[in-house]
Amino acid sequence: MSDDPLETGGHRRAGQIAFALGFVVLAVVLVALLGDQTVWKNKVKFFAQPRFWPAVGVIGMAVFGALHLKHLPRCRLSHYDLREARVWFEAVEYALWFLVYVWVVPIAGYLPTTLVFAPLLTWRLGYRSQKMLWISVIFAVVVVFKSVLQVKIPGGLVYEYLPGGLRSFFILNF
């Protein structure tokens, strides 16, 4: 028997309702988008229609997801469910950080963006000392991208405002 408070009777219960609700909502959204994302062609057999099999799949997801949700042993969200959902969201959080980074690099340039994001992510991971923040910047800028990967990253739009020689230096190196 586990000591995990989220587990009862040898089965993990926390998060089941949150997962089932999220799954049903996603399935309903996909069903709603079927008309925009698939086509119905004239003079094509019913089972060969481009819309048929995706519709079978997403409608099945919605129906079976709703049945699963209905037959769950608990029908209310508890604080354990919300805690479990928060853990799932933490995984998404870092993907969002990466998307924002990728969106900002063409605007602000690789170097300024990395100088901001590397310490921010290091801080978010729980490292609070200045030493760790500097190590993250040096590691991200020099070791990973420039030395190991030898990545040629396009300059940011802000580099266009620098004087001639300095602009070329920043575009080539940062």
pLDDT tens for 10-27 read 666 678 888 899 999 999
Report the pLDDT value the prediction gives residue 1, as an integer from 0 to 100: 47
Report the pLDDT value the prediction gives residue 5, as an integer from 0 to 100: 53
Cα–Cα separations (whole angstroms), residue 152 to 73, 108, 114, 169: 55, 16, 14, 13
Q: How far is CA 150 from the centre of its chain?
A: 26
User: In terms of pTM, does the model score above 0.75?
Assistant: no
Give mean pLDDT, residues 125-154: 78
Give mean pLDDT, residues 113-129: 89
Residues paired with residue 15 on neighbouring β-strands, in sequence order: none
Cα–Cα separations (whole angstroms), residue 109 to 33, 101, 156: 37, 10, 3
Which residues have C-beta within 8 Å of that of residue 142, sequence separation ≥ 6? none
Q: What is the pLDDT of residues 48-91, one digit of tens each?
A: 999 999 999 999 999 999 999 998 887 787 888 888 888 888 88
Annotate 84-132 with DSSP letters as a single string: HHHHHHHHHHHHHHHHHHHHHHHHH-HHHHHHHHHHHHHHHTT--SHHH
The single residue listed with the structure tokens 């802000």 is 158
The C-alpha atoms of residue 146 and residue 121 are separated, in whole angstroms, by: 19
Which residues have C-beta within 8 Å of that of residue 31, sequence separation ≥ 6? 55, 58, 59, 62
